[in-house]
Each structure stands twice: as structure tokens, then as C-alpha cells.
Amino acid sequence: MSRNQELFDRSQHLIPGGVNSPVRAFGAVGGTPRFFQRGEGPKVFDADGKGYIDYVCSWGPLLHGHAHPEVLAAVHGTMKNGLSFGAPTGLELEMAELLCSLMPSIEQVRLVSSGTEATMSAIRLARGFTGRSRILKFDGCYHGHGDALLVKAGSGALTFGQPSSGGVPAEVAALTSVVPYNDLDALKEAFASYGNELAAVIVEPIAGNMNFVLPLPGYLQALRTLCSEHSVVLIFDEVMTGFRVALGGVQSLYGVKPDLTTLGKVIGGGLPVAAFGGRRDIMACLAPLGPVYQAGTLSGNPVALSAGLATLRLAMAEGFHEALGDKTREVTEGIAARGNAAGFPMCAVSVGGMFGLYFRASLPNNLVEVMESDRDTFNRFFHAMLNEGIYLAPSAFEAGFVSAAHSSSDILNTLDAAERAFKAIQQ
């Protein structure tokens, strides 16, 4: 028995499903999840000692690959002075200054420990600021596991939400409305019906949780206009995309200024850091200045902030995101080309260091079209690539990530592995 299998068997006795986050269980693709022991640059190594070129990158934070020496040095330099104080540190100010300078829509920022904490706090803040209760989200966008956000669409294009998880009261879900992503008519209908009831609209400006779906031209701009007309707080969830697709996030690429932004992943460099921030008048509603309460013992943890600051500063090098984008396009377009040549309809899309691979002929614009992808072929391809030493996200509905540590040789090896994998699943 492999060491991975042994660890998984034992874990299932003590940890629900054997994992501490559901997608890690390989439930969508089948088989045994890999238990990783170490990472180095673009590679991870499992409990059996096998190495893999990694295109998950801890689901996005590892912009510079695993165990980058400058990030590790920053962590070591901070931790020798103590791990946590539960009191302010200068590193919190350094991070706040950096985030506000890189994203001009953020005038003030509050640090937290997870993306879920950031989004649920942003929603509470928007409700406190507006005095309204209803929020609007988009089908297929994920914003963490807060009750108000674990809501799926009901029947029809314009719907009140239904719980997508056990333990979410119907009364809570009823305050969340859901429309399809990229459907401008449905969006306009929602605002016409109850725009004056909305506290906030929360959106992944590029959707990264139904694989990787770009907004249609003009969609984000129309959303900004509708929110402004109805005095609704527009929240961009850039927990995944922030500093991954561009130094200024999606909002810098599309020229749309949200009222609040949520961040995470990259700003922790692999350690738990997240944030929410935006307009000064909205942020002034937070305690201790205002009536909206939010707190966290480990918020602004100095060790985690040192990793995030080092990660962001490395990403500020001239041409960094352009070079990262070139690498990402090379690997994803190369895989899609080899898939099509082997008789498997495929397409790919990428921005900066994030990408989507689809087993379908054309790029999807919403969740319904994403679901039309050939999941069975993806699952077989996933395992064939795993056998070749390539670690992709274990689900057809997750975005992928490339790091600056991925070399030309790594990309060439990945494309050669893909060619062999497609031949293997043809049989």
C-alpha cells in the first residue's frame, strides 16, 4: 500500500472525509489524494517521495513557487521575535500602506485571517452602511462559506436564493438573490425589481470558482453603473484574482472601481492573511469608529504578514505579471492544442498567473455552459497527468495557477506529459 493511501485511510477515521477542505478529497475525480511533504520552486513531493510539477500552487497564494528563499527569510526574521502579540505591529501598517497604494479603490483596509472572513465582514459592513438587508450574488461565484453566501439560484433567471449547504437557514438564504453570471438582462431585471432593497452586490470580477470565466465586454461597467444609480455597495471579491492576474487586480484591468474589495491568498504568501477595504466613508462604520463589529485574535499576524509583504514586493518587479502571463498562456494553450490534435475538443483562457482549461469547443460564459464540459474526459486526463508527475486541480470546476518559479523546461515537460496523457486516454 502506498504511503498516500495509508495516510488517507487513517485520516478518514479522525477527520471528516479524511480532509480539512472538501476538494482535497479527490471526490470529483476519484482515487487517492496526495499527501504532500514538501515543496520546492514549481514542484511538490508526496508522501511516497514522488515529485509533481504543481499547477495548484496552494490554490493561488504561491505566486513565486514553493519555499522561495526571500519569503522564507522574511518569515524566519519575524518569527524569531515572537509568533503573535494580539496587539498592533508595524507590519500591519506596512501591509495597509502597500495595499492602498497598489489598489487605489482601497482608501482604508482591515486585515483578517481568511477569505471567508473577509467576504462575510464586507457583507456585514455593507448592510451596516446602507441599512438594507438584501444582497445579490452570481450563480457559480463562490465567496467562502459564510451562511449568506452559500446560496444557489432557484428556478428562473431572476430568483431568490436557496441554501446550497446543510445548516444554512432558509430565512438567511432568502435575503440573498442570485442571477446568472454575465447575463446583463437578468442583472437589469434584478435591479428593476428590488435594487432599492439591496445593500450590496458581491462578484468575482473574473470568476475563479467555476473554473475561470471572464466577464463579457461591458458587464462589469454596467454593474458599476447600476450599483451607483441605486446606492448599492459594489464588492469585488478578489481573494483569488488580487495580485494574481495583475498587480492592481481585475479592477485595474477593466477600469472599474468597486466600493469594497476583498483580498486573500497572495497577500499571505502561503500563510493565513486576508483583508477587506475600500471607501473611507464605508470603512468608518467599522468598530471601534462605528457600529459594525468585526474582530479577530490573529488578524494581522506578524509572521503571516512578513510572508505576504515579501511576496507582494517580489511581484512589483518591472514586467513581472507580463512574464507570468506569457508562461501561463504557453502552458495552457499548449495543452489545449495537444488535446484538440488528439481528438478531444478543448479550449483555454488565462490572465496573468491564473487559467482555465475546458473540455469543450468554446469558452463558457456562465455556470450552465461550464457544466456542459466533458467531465469524464477531464477526470481521465487528470489521472493520466498525475501519473506523469503533473499536479492539476482535482476538479473540472477549479481554476489553475502558474508561478514565477515554473521554468521553460517545466513547461516543456508539462506539454510532453500532456501529449502522452492524451494518447493514454485515447485507448
Residues with catalytic roles: 142, 237, 265
β 233-237/198-203 pair status: parallel
Give the span between the Cα atoms of 24 and 424, in whole angstroms.
Answer: 25
Partners of 213 in the β-ladder:
207
How does 240-278 read in b/e, with b if 16+ C-beta sit within 10 Å? bbbbbbbbbbbbbbbebbbbbbbbbbbbbbbbbbbbbbb
Give the span between the Cα atoms of 184 and 200, in whole angstroms.
Answer: 17
Which contiguous run of DSSP H or E holds residue 384?
helix 375-387
Give the span between the Cα atoms of 60 and 365, in whole angstroms.
Answer: 22
C-alpha cell belonging to residue 264? 486573500
In sequence order, which residues have a C-beta less than 8 Å from that of residue 123 and are 6 or more positions away?
135, 146, 148, 149, 199, 200, 202, 235
Residue located via cell numbers 494518447: 423
Partners of 350 in the β-ladder:
355
The closest of 320, 341, 362 to 415, measured between CA atoms, is 341
Q: Is 286 exposed, middle or buried (0-12, 13-18, 19+ CB in 10 A)?
A: buried
Contact assessment for residue 8 and residue 32, using Cβ atoms and an 8 Å cutoff: yes
For 383-387, the CB contacts below 8 A with 24+ separation are 383/29, 383/30, 383/31, 384/420, 384/421, 384/422, 384/424, 384/425, 385/417, 385/418, 385/421, 386/31, 386/34, 386/52, 387/421, 387/424
C-alpha cell belonging to residue 332? 495552457
